[in-house]
Amino acid sequence: MKPDIEIYDTTLRDGSQGEGLNFSALDKLRIAERLDAFGVHYIEGGWPGSNPKDLEFFKQAARRKWRRARITAFTMTRRKGVAVESDALMRQVLEAETPVVTIVGKTSMLHVVEVLRVKPEENLAMIGDTIRYLKDHRKAVIYDAEHAFDGYREDPAYAVATWQAAEKAGAMCVALCDTNGGCLPGEIAATVEAARRRLAVPLGIHTHNDCGLGVANGLAGIEAGATQIQGTINGYGERTGNCNLTTIIPLLAFKLKRRGVPASSLPKLKDLSEFVDEIANVRHDARQPWVGRSAFAHKGGMHVHAIGRTTRSYEHIPPEAVGNSRRVLVSDMSGRTNILLKAAEMGFHLAPDAPETRAITAEVKRRESLGYEYEAAEASLALLIRGILDHNPELRFTVDGYHVSIRSNGTSSVCEATVKVRVKNRTAHTVAEGEGPVNALDSALRTGLSGFFPKLKGIGLTDYKVRILDGVAGTAARTRVLITSSDGRREWGTVGVSENIITASLQALVDSIEYVLIRK
């Protein structure tokens, strides 16, 4: 039986070096607790001494009991010309009080000579001295061989000597790092196999995604004999990122049949991915493999027809296995099967050959030709279906008129909207100010209707997107507005299209509110 694969998470250190990412100490603790519950083996918390946040994280982490994971501090080998016991880096990493320390050292002769500017023998001594010192202080040590593949390509004998120095000094794992992210899977596999023949210590693999091969190279390393994979949640990291653990973990489990995290954690993978994105204040990537919203979304009529008969026809695993869900999209590419499945998902029951089914399909295609889009506006689609099934039912309210104006004194401006709404034989005429015309219109509309429908007080607009559909018309071009609304528990999308951006926005706002009022 093949050995289990250790999952080494470096989201809090290598991942946080990605552009636009910034974790507080509390953020790091929350992510670490979630990773621990998920079942990763190592959580690299940061570099002690590099910044106050990392110091605070390790201080707080030392006070907690961790169920599965071993908290790991990161540092480099001792400095050149400095005795290891006198190096401030060693003092700082010991003060972190972690059971495991990962140190990074040089493999590439280019870096030894041109960057460190030390003799090759001194670099070997720096590696050995540092590991022995940490071992003497009862630390388990992982050695990250920086530029391992570049170094092996340049000078195989010296590269192997650096890895053997780490092994001889007592490293429990030597992780080979494709630091520049420039290798292909074949080279990764060949180098790991070469290291496997020369070392008895377990090997790890640490890859970057500069060529879009972070995951592929990680898999190549595993299949060549590495038993530890280092990466980050959602692929965060410097430049274009690191090996994406939310991709590699299910690949190990479902494709290679190798145990990484506990099987019971796999259905929580999508939640973990979204949680880390939320803490990082990064919008979740809908197109992420396995965990993205679009990973199991079906749009083409032929595809949808097939999965209606057997889901395995166009899905490589059940989406529920990683906590995701199947979605059927409706667009001008849709056939009746898309409409039937989407309507059933919403609670409408249609017969395949019913006139209403044909009418809904035709209306969707007609509206999409005008610029409407229902993939992200399912609430508007539900209203369209209801309108045809119920033969144009009376709306719960009607907008009889509206006015939007902008007042400016040259240095600042105020947007004001007036809306007149009618509910049966009663009317309300309200005015509101906002940060912009749509915000003012939204406020006036909801204020006017809240007196009739108190449940609207808990509804709010959470996202607003505008797209120009036919740029050749310039400022008179048709505009599509997509709005996302929320009641604090769930979200829904609506769409409006018009040559007038305010009119398009009002359409989407009206659909958003109407959907809340008729939803069962």
Average pLDDT of the segment spanning 364-371: 85
Q: Which of 255-269, 387-401, 445-459 has the lowest mean pLDDT?
A: 387-401
Beta bridge partners of 433: 416
Q: Which helix or strand (DSSP H or E) is residue 42 part of?
A: strand 42-46
Cβ–Cβ < 8 Å for 153, 186: no
**CA-CA distance, 508 to 388, in Å (whole number)?**
19
Give CATH for domain 354-390+460-520: 3.30.160.340
- How does strand 228-231 pair with strand 42-46? unpaired
pLDDT of residue 368: 83
Select 397-452's CATH number: 1.10.10, 3.30.200, 3.30.160, 3.30.300. 3.30.160
Q: What three-state secondary structure class fits 125?
A: helix
pLDDT at position 378 over 90: no
What is the four-CA torsion angle of 510, 511, 513, 519, rounded to 10 degrees? Answer: 160
Q: Could you tell me where the beta strands, DSSP code E, fall in 68-224?
A: 70-76, 100-106, 140-146, 173-178, 203-207
Average pLDDT, the chain: 89
Look up the pTM and report it.
0.74
Region of 212 please: left (phi>0), alpha (psi -120 to 50) or beta.
left
Domain ranges of the chain: 6-261, 354-390+460-520, 397-452
Per-residue pLDDT tens digits for 92-104: 999 999 999 999 9
Q: What is the pLDDT of residues 44-59, one digit of tens each?
A: 999 997 778 888 999 9
Q: Reading across the β-sheet that carries 426-434, which strands appear in turn?
A: 398-408, 413-423, 426-434
- Averaged pLDDT, 137-158: 96
Q: Do domains 354-390+460-520 and 397-452 have the same CATH topology?
A: yes
Torsion angle, alpha carbons of 384, 387, 388, 391, to 10: -170
Q: Which residues contact 177 (CB under 8 A, 6 or more apart)?
A: 104, 144, 145, 146, 147, 148, 149, 206, 207
Question: Token digits for 510?
Answer: 């009206």
Give the E-state strand segments of 409-503 in sequence order: 413-423, 426-434, 460-468, 479-486, 491-498
If one looks up domain 6-261 in CATH, what number appears?
Answer: 3.20.20.70
Q: What is the structure's pLDDT at 261?
A: 95
Span 257-279, average pLDDT: 93
Chain CA centroid to CA 121, Å = 43
34: left (phi over 0), alpha (psi -120 to 50) or beta: alpha
